[in-house]
Structure 1
Amino acid sequence: MQTKVATNLTKTEILQLLLQLGLTSAGSFAIWRKPNSNTVEIVLNETANPVKVDLSIENLEPGFIVHPFADQVDKKAYFIKASKYFSFELDKPLASDELPEWAKIQLSNQQRLSPQEIRELLLNQTLSSKTQSSKLSEDRSHFIQLVKEGVKAVQQNHVEKVVPARTKTISIPSNFNLSCTLLSLMDAYPNSFINFFHLPQVGTWIGASPEILIETKGDIFTTMSLAGTQKATGDNPLKSVAWTQKEIEEQALVSRYIVSCFKKIRLREYEEHGPKTVIAGNLLHLRSDFRINMQETGFPELGSIMLGLLHPTSAVCGMPRLEAHNFLQEFEGFDRSFFSGFLGPVNIQGSTSIYVNLRTASLQDKEATLYAGAGVTEDSDPDKEWEETELKCEIIGKFIQNPSA
């Protein structure tokens, strides 16, 4: 009797197999890599109908959570329970016999699909999940007018800041290779949360978010304020960067918003570090980090509490939150869906890491819809804000249109 020799799989082959497992399961799945990590993870749930859960994250089973921007009536999020879980290291070889048993069993009944076949399988499953964006959200003149209305609202003291968004639709090329696109994003954006999730009949999204909303590990809770944007230029952009008063104030508003949330729950003991300049792909941002010991401060469920208080943050909505949200409802003109919502692994390997869904695109039929917003204060220049959104769309768009970039 011959023994089958295990072959080493390349990281592209592993990712293609994981995508095949997800897309042939008829269920929901998510694949991700955290910032500054070499570990790629997948959760898969074969339940045909996507599940929704309350946002008491400390009580959830291990899984992956996805919540839209809009504050829904049911206050619930989509949840992909980790019925099946696997992780692998990008920089370590993996033999085919090291795949988990559940994967081997599922794959034993299937031919290995080519990247082209995975593309067709993916696009066939996204036909009925087209995001309800309108032609208005693509229109430059509409966005310019939106920014002008935002500036006027700030000048009239209706809001301190507002963050209008727009969309940009691009075609998915015939040579689109999802595994190559994900690996290219991981390589290009080591400091970002690279993610892909598929919820049948709901949505299929890919992203590279630079912003943690909340993170808990053991007794430690962390969050960040991220705002201010400019293009990274030169050989050492972190050394040569200069920030305008508008950008500094925009970021300070987000930090003050986080502190105001702490005050609401009478939490006084926290560490704040920053602001400092950070790089995210081809962009620079200002960031401050906040850290709290949940045990010492007596807030064991701080993750769920802050999730409710922080979302939607002033970095994606504006300040004050209610007034800014009302402005967007009146003037923006489209449904953001999961853009500027939040997503991430919950109670996986002892930690929860939830990110704001930025630098993201929804896939449907043979098109990808890119999303981007810009923080508007009274000093905003509408043309510059449009250019900022163009740069943000490019972060994902160029990898969809050129998977091996």
Structure 2
Amino acid sequence: MIDSLVTSQVATKDAIRMLLNAAFSSGRPFALWRKPKSNVLELVLDAEEKIRKVGMEIEELPAGFIIHPFEDQEDKKAYFIKASEYFSLDLSLEPQEIDFPDWVKNQPPSKGPLEQFLTNNNQSTEERKVNVSVGSSKAHFLELVEQSISWIKAGKLEKVVPARTKTIPLSSNFDLVQSIWELMNSYPNSFVNFFHLPEVATWLGASPETLIETKGDEFYTMSLAGTQKAQGDNPLKSAAWTQKEIEEQALVSRYIVDCFKKIRLREYDEHGPKTVLAGDLLHLRSDFRVNMKSTNFPQLGSVMLGLLHPTSAVCGMPRKEAHEFLKEHEGFERCFFAGFIGPVNIKESTAIYVNLRTASFGDGEITLYAGAGVTEDSDPEKEWEETEMKCRIIGKFFQSEES
């Protein structure tokens, strides 16, 4: 039985390798993902090498994968990978049961394109190096948290979410397929994703936070905040939350409700907060659901996308003031970290996630990103420790020991 399971895992990883080889060989944008609590790996590949950008009216978009940075763009558009080719892989299938499309079958089952990508990655620019240097400084982050607390005590902000980076070298035996496989197995409740925009960016992550989801007439979003390490045999029952963490999560929930009020939406279901597990970490989460048909709001997805991003969980409150504070004091470019990503209009469903627990590829290195919610009661050293925990979630899949 064990030998059979091992053989099946090897075969499944070989199937993922075939998909990635074919996608990289095409030279075109593509995205690979597995939704939370799903056993299906999905991939979209664009027919064009040119990078597409689209507006935010998601109901009008063709099937594809949307990628939006943390910052709003001047053209008010997002990157988009059109699903010119779409393939879904049931991870429970035996290898002989997998029916690959021709564009995958015609590629040799080698590591060639993957190795070429990892050894010839063109994402390491001088701008990136400067960005990484500022973002990875502990002294800078501690000072940023102190500034955040001062602004909150002065009544200028209620909460702010400063971020930082951590750059580590790729291990000499790094295997992208193995990393994706381990992420899927380690974080079944997260959105595991890998996307490649040639000449722009390549990222890998496992996000625990849904921004918006629409399926049929149902709309869903969540408020996720508060972080602690999962401990003991039953961490969900033994978790104890501080007043600071409870208030932090309540602020995020209140912001969602305020967005509903802005559009005069009164009919919604709210459940929570409850403790949820995301890998080795625990968070507080509340769920919000709306029936778009009964509320006569078929474009609620697009409307809430515009109102929610960037959420108070990754930016702060009030949103405008928190965003301006971060832009002035954070000192580095977040790029796609804390932006949003996800499949759009695939199988009559859209699922967009906040791009958290994520890393970008550089030349022989990867950069991890993490933020921490700061309130009046925050302690700078503890906020640094929280970002270290979040970096480890992804960082441990790139090398055996972080440096």
- RMSD, aligned CA: 1.6
> 2:312 and 2:123 mapped to 1: Cα distance?
32
2:63: which partner in 1? 62
2:117 to 88, 113, 122: 122
2:110 to 88, 91, 113: 113
Residue correspondences, number: 391
1:19: which partner in 2? 20
> 1:112 and 1:36 mapped to 2: Cα distance?
29
After TM superposition, give the deviation of residue 128 of structure 1 in Å.
3.6
2:232: which partner in 1? 234
After TM superposition, give the deviation of residue 20 of structure 1 in Å.
0.2
Deviations 1:168-207 (A, max 9, x none): 0000111111111001000000000000000001100000
Residue pair 1:129, 1:203 contacting (<8 A) in 2 also: no
> 2:151 and 2:69 mapped to 1: Cα distance?
25
> 1:368 and 1:244 mapped to 2: Cα distance?
33
Q: Secondary structure at the match of 1:361?
A: strand
2:260: which partner in 1? 262
Structure 1, 43-52 or 387-396: larger mean CA deviation: 43-52
> 2:291 and 2:388 mapped to 1: Cα distance?
39
Q: Secondary structure at the match of 1:95?
A: helix
Alignment of 1:166-315 (within 5 A): 166-315=164-313
After TM superposition, give the deviation of residue 124 of structure 1 in Å.
4.4
Structure 1, 183-192 or 121-130: larger mean CA deviation: 121-130
Gapped regions of structure 1 (runs ≥ 5): 1-6
TM-score using structure 2 length: 0.94
Percent sequence identity over aligned pairs? 62
Gapped regions of structure 2 (runs ≥ 5): 1-6
2:134 to 128, 133, 136: 136
1:4: which partner in 2? none
Q: Secondary structure at the match of 2:289?
A: strand
Q: Secondary structure at the match of 1:401?
A: coil
Counterpart residue identity of residue 258, structure 2: S
> 1:256 and 1:282 mapped to 2: Cα distance?
27
1:331 to 321, 329, 332: 329
After TM superposition, give the deviation of residue 126 of structure 1 in Å.
2.7
After TM superposition, give the deviation of residue 118 of structure 1 in Å.
4.3
Residues 33 and 266 of structure 1: CA distance in aligned 2, closer, same or farther (over 3 Å): same
Residue pair 1:346, 1:354 contacting (<8 A) in 2 also: yes
Q: Secondary structure at the match of 2:26?
A: coil
Alignment of 1:38-117 (within 5 A): 38-95=39-96, 98-104=99-105, 106-107=106-107, 111-114=108-111, 117=112
Counterpart residue identity of residue 14, structure 1: A
> 2:103 and 2:117 mapped to 1: Cα distance?
21
> 2:272 and 2:113 mapped to 1: Cα distance?
43
Q: Secondary structure at the match of 1:327?
A: helix
